[in-house]
A and B are shown apart, each in its own frame.
Chain A
Amino acid sequence: MAGTDTPPPAAGPRTFRDAEHLFRVAALFLAVVVLFFVAQRLFVPKGFGTLGHYRPGALADNRDRPSAFGGRAACEQCHADAVEAKRKGKHAGPACEACHGPLAAHAADPSIKPGRPDARTLCLKCHAALVGRPAKFPQVKPAEHVPEGASCLDCHVAHDPAMGGSK
């Protein structure tokens, strides 16, 4: 077998020769570490960490999404009369789209006509008697008050629903 048989290697070339393979391993590990830092510099998203531990572009990503609901103000621009009628009655609170559904598309392009939901189904969603609804909230028993086939609009005006309300 090659190599010396002498006890503890003396300082100098012999020690280095015996330790040389360890330096090779160390160099390999160092290369991995350097590679890691290079990869970090290259691949970390731009600006990451400037506002917090996240990619600032995510704010814009979350902001730039289309809306389905237009919002009350959009309706008011064209339908001021309906808004005025509603304002005086019991339905002043609910927004237009609470009943009419999402209408951002219609607000942007009025030629897109929204469908009209069936009144009875829609009204009963809120006004059918249900244990748990506040006692003062107007509720009716559907079978008695507006049986199948009848419509709420037979007697009530949607925008100002109290009996005798204006359109």
Chain B
Amino acid sequence: MGGVIPGVDGYMYPNEMELQWGVLIVLYPFITGLVAGAFILASLERVFDVEAVKPTYRLALLTALAFLLVAPLPLQLHLGHPERSFEMYLTPHLTSAMAMFGFVYLWYLMVVLLLEIWLDFRKDIVLRASSTPGWRGLPYRLLTLGSRNISAGALALDDKVGRFVTLVGIPSAFLLHGYVGFIFGSVKANPWWSTPLMPIVFLFSAIVSGIALVLVLYMAVCVVRGVSIDMRCADTVARYLLYAFIIDFSLEMLDLLHRVYEADESFKSLDFMVHTRLYASHILVQIVAGTLLPLALLALVRVVSLSESARRGFYAAAGVLTLMGILAMRWNVVIGGQLFSKSFLGYTTYKMGFATREGLLAAVLLLLLPLGILWGLVKLLPPWTEETTESPAPAV
């Protein structure tokens, strides 16, 4: 239909002109990526005893939970029949990567995240259950599951089990986000998506985004609370961010190099797309501003001696730019994969609505919602020790 349909250039198969997956499907890997990344950072302390990042431990867990609770929402808004989504639990098609979603999500939510948070916060929950009067204490009393045992023996057991849960949680986090990469990477019909590197690239960019999120949130929360930022912690988190980013960037460069070198039948079409329709989001936002710049900032901190306030500024900037860059990467994968025709003869445009079910407004609200939930979680289970009340001996 070359050139006659607005937004379409060249030839596209008639059914291809309208994009199937929009901004909400961009959000989903972004959100699960943040969950996986935040959890991996938290596990650094628990399993690998990186004691320096301890101040972020509980915050990272609650952040992961807040985002995980929101993760299914963009999918539900996208489905033609969200009321049928439970079918994925009833008759999961085992050859479909997407069918894993329900089970991996539930597993991760229940057996990893909720269990770990409960085990770590149990002492505070029990203390608050007795010290908070009336209906405000009800959530705590429910969360105790009827047991008020916070003896040394019980807490030691909690710690051991918690360690084990974290250990199991790391591959579970890999699975939670890795399978999303496989959903794209296994589609042989789409050469922009189809590569064995996809789950790995997704996973590492998830780790990068999760660490960046916790870094930014930790500093922001300290500022809001009026307490000083533990620089040893921030420096360590930033260091891990740099390492993860170097790996992530190398993987993406490998993919690019491979494509350019092999130049298969799809290359010319994809290359043209990246230089025209995807130029702003791919080259400018994802690569330059979202990867090279934060990498430079983080690397600079390691080679040049900077003051604490300068480092804080660098970390904040790098963190925000990183988050933007990883979101752009999801956009470029999901949207980019649908802008070119499978005939390799044409291109279309993504028409994003604003106040529609799958529009920009919904996307923005879905990104803000986890922050709201996090605020609620922090009020319910404060991650900081000076806010837990010391109470008289609770009944065992």
Contact A29 B157 (CB under 8 A): no
Is B122 in the interface zone, CB < 8 Å from A? Answer: yes
Is B161 in the interface zone, CB < 8 Å from A? Answer: yes
Is B110 in the interface zone, CB < 8 Å from A? Answer: yes
Contact B90 A2 (CB under 8 A): no
Contact flag A44-B90 (CB < 8 Å), given A25-B115, A25-B118, A29-B111? yes
CA A19 to CA B394, docked complex, whole Å = 17
Is B393 in the interface zone, CB < 8 Å from A? Answer: yes
Q: Which residue in B86, B145, B152 is a CB contact (below 8 Å) of A21?
A: B145
Is B4 in the interface zone, CB < 8 Å from A? Answer: no
Is B93 in the interface zone, CB < 8 Å from A? Answer: yes
Count of B residues near A, CB < 8 Å? 28
Contact A18 B145 (CB under 8 A): no
Chain B residues, CB < 8 A from A63: none
CA A44 to CA B153, docked complex, whole Å = 45
CA A40 to CA B94, docked complex, whole Å = 16
Q: Mostly helix, strand, loop or mixed at chain A's interface? A: helix
Chain B residues, CB < 8 A from A1: 150, 393
Is A39 in the interface zone, CB < 8 Å from B? Answer: yes
From residue B96, how far is it (CB to closest CB) to chain A in Å?
Answer: 9
Contact A18 B91 (CB under 8 A): no
Contact A24 B146 (CB under 8 A): yes
CA A22 to CA B115, docked complex, whole Å = 10
Proximity bits, B123-167, A CB within 8 Å = 1, else 0 = 000000000000000000000111101111110110001000000
Proximity bits, A8-39, B CB within 8 Å = 1, else 0 = 11000011011111101100110010001001
Q: Which of B57-109 contact A (CB under 8 A)?
A: 86, 89-91, 93-94
Chain B residues, CB < 8 A from A6: 153
Across the A-B interface, give the 3 residue pairs with the lowest CB-CB distance, nearest first. A3-B151, A21-B147, A18-B153
Pick 11 A–B contacts, CB within 8 A, sort by A: A3-B150, A3-B152, A17-B154, A18-B149, A18-B154, A20-B149, A21-B147, A25-B118, A28-B145, A40-B90, A44-B90
